[in-house]
Amino acid sequence: MPEMQGPDKTFRDGLAKGQIHIQQCDDCERFIFFPRVLCPHCKGQSLTWRAASGDGTVYTTTTVRRKPERGGDYNICMVELAEGVRMMSRVDDISPDNVKIGQPVTAFVGEIDGVPAVLCKPAKG
C-alpha cells in the first residue's frame, strides 16, 4: 500500500495524536469532510484545519452480526457532527441494537484493529 499523502495524511496524523480535525473553507466558511484540496461547495483553495467539537448525532446505523468467538456484533453508523459534516464511525459503550437514529453522541479518537479512528459514545445528559 502506498504511503499516504496530502490532506488525508494530515487528518490521520491528527488522529495519531488523539485529535479530530476537519477542514473549513476560508471562502465560504463551510466545513468539509472527507479531507480535500478544494472546497466541494465553492471550489475555494484555502482550507484551514479546525478542531472538531466532537458533538454529533447518529444519522444512520446498522448492526454487523458476528459470531461471539469473532468478537460479537457491532454497529456501523454515519454520524453528523455539529459542524455539519458526516463521517462513518461506530458507537461504543452501548449494545449495537440500542444505537438509534437521532441519538446524541460524542466523538473521540479510539482504535480499530490498532489503527487510530474516530469513534463515538452516547452523549451524557
Taking alpha carbons only, the member of 102, 78, 83, 103 closest to residue 93 is: 103
* Tens-place pLDDT, residues 48-82: 999 999 999 999 999 999 999 998 999 999 999 99
C-beta of residue 110 within 8 angstroms of C-beta of residue 119? yes
Taking alpha carbons only, the member of 55, 109, 120 closest to residue 84 is: 55
* Tens-place pLDDT, residues 87-97: 999 999 999 99
Instruction: With residue 120 as reference, give the H or E element that holds it.
Output: strand 115-122
C-beta of residue 35 within 8 angstroms of C-beta of residue 23? yes
- Domains by residue range for the chain, with CATH: 1-51 (no CATH), 53-125 (2.40.50.840)
Instruction: Give residue 53's Cα distance to chain centre.
Output: 11
